Amino acid sequence: MNPLPAEASAPQAAARVLVAGVGNIFLRDDGFGPEVARRLASESKLLTSDVRVVDYGIRGMHLAYDLLDDVDVLVLVDAVPSSAASSLEDGEQPDSAAGSIRVMRIRPEDLDGRAALDPHGMNPAAVLGRLRTLGGELPTTYLVGCVPADVSEGIGLSEPVSAAVPEAVAAVVSVLARHAPIHPSVTA
């Protein structure tokens, strides 16, 4: 996975965008993606009709099949290990503290097309890596990730991850602004 380039490109024509919150809400901070999706969906009046926000939870096959339906841009939102990015654009090491947000671009060469796709679980790398075998192609894909503090059994985000949710929402909105028209009040 590559860090997101610093330069902002001009917004393109309206793209069909899928924002996918993934993770298991029963493993505390692993529920980060679903919580961000919930927050974004509650602000859906601010987004255009070309943007769908879905809480996939642990439904990897559902995500895979939805990606076969003319998605131009995918924004995954998930908990990520502290080692998820080797470096940022200026050669700085990413912050590995719990609650740290990372925005990365995912390219086909970042994925292993041989990873097993579990129909009863969610492994985003396997879902994306197996798209070609399902007859699809990887859309322009970004990951908005958060370093978890606690992925033990339980419901509810830890304090640092909960505090990072607004920053993650803003990061998703920033990615959306590059690819889909959004209402100006979203970026304010």
16 CB-near residues (< 8 Å, 6+ apart): 50, 70, 71, 72, 73
pLDDT range class, residue 82, cuts 50, 70, 90:
confident
The whole domain housing 91 covers 14-182
Structural domain contains residue 6: no
pLDDT range class, residue 57, cuts 50, 70, 90:
very high
pLDDT range class, residue 100, cuts 50, 70, 90:
very high
Give yes or no for residue 23 having a pLDDT over 90. yes
- Tell me, what's the pLDDT at 84? 59
Span 60-68, mean pLDDT? 90
62 CB-near residues (< 8 Å, 6+ apart): 56
Structural domain contains residue 114: yes
Q: Per this entry, what is the length of the chain?
A: 188
The model's pLDDT over 117-166, given as tens digits with 9 standing for 90+, comes to 776 678 888 888 888 888 889 999 999 999 999 999 999 999 999 999 99
Structural domain contains residue 188: no
pLDDT range class, residue 8, cuts 50, 70, 90:
very low
Q: How far is CA 119 from CA 59, 64, 77, 163, 173, in A?
A: 8, 10, 20, 32, 30
The model's pLDDT over 104-115, given as tens digits with 9 standing for 90+, comes to 999 888 887 677
Read off the DSSP letter of residue 36.
Answer: H
Look up the CATH number of the domain holding residue 130.
3.40.50.1450
| Phi, psi at 161, each rounded to 5° | -75, -40
Element (H, E) at 172: helix 159-179
If one counts the domains in the chain, the total is 1
Structural domain contains residue 87: yes
| 13 class by beta-carbon count within 10 Å (0-12 exposed, 13-18 middle, 19+ buried) | exposed
Structural domain contains residue 43: yes
Structural domain contains residue 75: yes
Q: Count Cα atoms within 13 angstroms, Cβ side, for 56.
A: 30
Structural domain contains residue 8: no
Structural domain contains residue 80: yes
Give yes or no for residue 88 having a pLDDT over 70. no
